[in-house]
Structure 1
Amino acid sequence: MSQSGPSGFRIGIDLGGTKTEAVALSPSGEVVVQERVPTVKGDYKATISTITGLVNRAEDIVGQNCTVGIGMPGAASRDTGLVKNANSTWLIGKPLQKDLEMALNRPVRLQNDANCFAVSEAIDGAGKGAEIVFGVILGTGVGAGIAIRGECLEGRNAIAGEWGHNPLPAPLDDERPGPLCYCGRYGCIESFLSGPAFEREYSEAGGKKLTAREIKTLAATGDPLADATLKAYEQRLARALAHVINILDPDIIVLGGGLSNIRRLYDTVPMLWEPHVFSDSVKTRLSPPLHGDSSGVRGAAWLWPPTR
């Protein structure tokens, strides 16, 4: 099988629900190639083809074979090697790692996209130097990854950080039993805190069908309905993250995904989580990602350590 070149360039792929991104990193972590293409939803063969094309084009530019790390929704089962827990449901039950290794003729490292995000921000991002980083994805779905001293914590069942599919903590009466989640349960954190959930909350309260970005903009102008929707979101996010702090006690929580661009979250949520954290004070920081929406793809590349 092909191996990385002597100078240690690494390719990362972020397989998202709407876009698939590739980067090639130099040994020092500099992005030397970057490309984004739309994700072909519902088509597994097209997914393999898309990733193969991105890798081949990046290597043509770099001029050598590279290691390849893939960030994906869900995880590979430790029992079967097949994809599980992916909100990109056309991947579920597929031997993604095996098929990519055959297509690319080399070993491939596969990891949950939120884990890649956490590793990226722990290595050279907002959580650089922190012992425990909890990296949250607030996007089409809701997930999280855990990095300890810069390395991904997968867990015995490869589900460490699967925060989005726990019930929303301390639910209010009007939050029970909660919306139906794609996983088949009611009231998952994802069903309250994802981008589509935020948009649904606004429209069900009497608003028009707007995107999360449009609702955020309206809230900034003082629109009462948009502001109320955002306040409810902040309260739920605070309760959900307080639960994490009580269990993991991270140094920093880094928010990623489209909803991480709502700047007021970083001021309001730490104030709101304090009553729910079992401590006399809360020193956990809440931060946006240093690398923005390219953090996950950088983390995928970092799945291969630097060449010594």
Structure 2
Amino acid sequence: MIVSFDIGGSAIKGGIVRSQSDIRALDRRPTPKDNLAEFIAALRTVTDQAEEPFTRLSLSLAGVVDPDTRRIICANIPCINGRDLIADLEAEFSVPVMIANDADCFAMAEAEVGAGKGHRIVFGIILGTGVGGGLVSDGRLVNAAGGFAGEWGHGPAAALRAGHPPVELAHFKCGCGQSGCIDTVGGARGLERIHMTLHGQDLTSEDIIAAWQVGDPEAVRTIDVYIDLVASPLAVCVNMTGATIVPAGGGLANVKALMAELDVAVRNRILRQFDRPLVVQSQCTLEPGLIGASLLGLKAETQR
């Protein structure tokens, strides 16, 4: 038996895991952000609910494990940022610990039990507040030892002209320190930024989508530019990875019509031709981070 966690900046979700088909989610609790002892104590309130000894902790985290130093890069939970959290937790709990990025855990969940089941190469993408991704090949998470593979949202790749007809755009500053990242235009905040740039209207992504679905011309123009900006870099990722399915999660991915538009645009720009959808809505809509962390932990146990 293992204990798994999905840890975000606001909440910790835990689970007791005995097998792929036996993952019992537990109640959420707030994430202590500024005190390591309180953070570990919050995890212990979950492990204390295990009815028998557990053999591993497996965590999905809104951060990245540096593959060279094993230190955590996690801006929204300061008490663990820069720490070797694996060593900290192994010392506290006396069991092996593994940590993976939440987008990686999403990709793992989709590859094993979601939309990517049966595919060799699965590129899972997040279109939420921002943009993220994870890559699974032959059932193995590429970032199993940490790292940034699959982070297609970052790097100065956004086009400066997009839409039909094209409109001139500026590169927007990204939270990673660069400008022109897909993260600045591909998530919900990016959609809002595009709409403001084109029309001078400060609307929420939900309002923009709603207006687009009823044919509002300004929203239609915004979505046209959005799809053009996002489809090309995603197509490059598909070409580079050889992915045969791209499950999408996050708030924007919940809009079926939007994902259908993105799918068509991506399939028109890749080398391999598919006569079926490639970019699809995720199937693990409940607790994908927890499911992915659980599956990674179970795989690690079988390899001991």
What is the Cα deviation at residue 145 of structure 1?
0.8
- Which of 233, 239, 242 lines up with 2:232 in the alignment? 239
The reply on whether 1:123 has 2:112 as its aligned counterpart is yes
Could you list the runs of 5+ residues in structure 1 that have no partner in the other structure?
A: 1-8
- One-letter amino acid of the counterpart of residue 129, structure 1: G
Identity of aligned residues (%): 28
Instruction: Find the counterpart in structure 1 of residue 169 from structure 2.
Output: 175
TM normalised by structure 1 equals 0.82
The DSSP-based 3-state class of the residue aligned with 1:303 is: helix
The 5 Å alignment of 1:79-228 reads 79-84=68-73, 86=74, 88=76, 90=78, 91-154=80-143, 158-172=147-161, 174-176=168-170, 178-204=171-197, 205-210=199-204, 212-228=205-221
Comparing 12-21 with 124-133, greater Cα deviation is found at 12-21
Paired positions, count: 293
What is the Cα deviation at residue 43 of structure 1?
5.7
With over 3 angstroms needed to count, the CA separation of the structure-2 counterparts of 1:17 and 1:199, relative to structure 1, is farther
Comparing 167-176 with 283-292, greater Cα deviation is found at 167-176
Contact 2:64 2:146 in 1 (8 A): no
Cα distance in 2 for partners of 1:235, 1:78 equals: 34
The DSSP-based 3-state class of the residue aligned with 1:222 is: coil
- One-letter amino acid of the counterpart of residue 169, structure 2: E
The reply on whether 1:288 has 2:271 as its aligned counterpart is no
With over 3 angstroms needed to count, the CA separation of the structure-2 counterparts of 1:53 and 1:243, relative to structure 1, is same
Contact 1:13 1:23 in 2 (8 A): yes
- Which of 26, 43, 48 lines up with 1:34 in the alignment? 26
Cα distance in 2 for partners of 1:184, 1:132 equals: 30
Instruction: Find the counterpart in structure 2 of residue 67 from structure 1.
Output: 56
- One-letter amino acid of the counterpart of residue 82, structure 1: R
What is the Cα deviation at residue 179 of structure 1?
1.1
Query: What is the RMSD of the two structures over their aligned residues, measured on CA atoms?
Result: 2.8
What is the Cα deviation at residue 243 of structure 1?
1.1
The DSSP-based 3-state class of the residue aligned with 2:298 is: coil
- Which of 253, 262, 271 lines up with 2:255 in the alignment? 262
Comparing 226-235 with 128-137, greater Cα deviation is found at 226-235
Instruction: Find the counterpart in structure 2 of residue 305 from structure 1.
Output: 298
Q: Deviations over 1:223-262 (max 9, x none)?
A: 4444433333222221121111121120100111222111
The DSSP-based 3-state class of the residue aligned with 2:179 is: coil
Cα distance in 1 for partners of 2:211, 2:140 equals: 39
Contact 2:158 2:180 in 1 (8 A): no
With over 3 angstroms needed to count, the CA separation of the structure-2 counterparts of 1:54 and 1:198, relative to structure 1, is farther
The DSSP-based 3-state class of the residue aligned with 2:68 is: coil
The DSSP-based 3-state class of the residue aligned with 1:126 is: coil
Cα distance in 1 for partners of 2:137, 2:256 equals: 26
Cα distance in 1 for partners of 2:15, 2:40 equals: 17
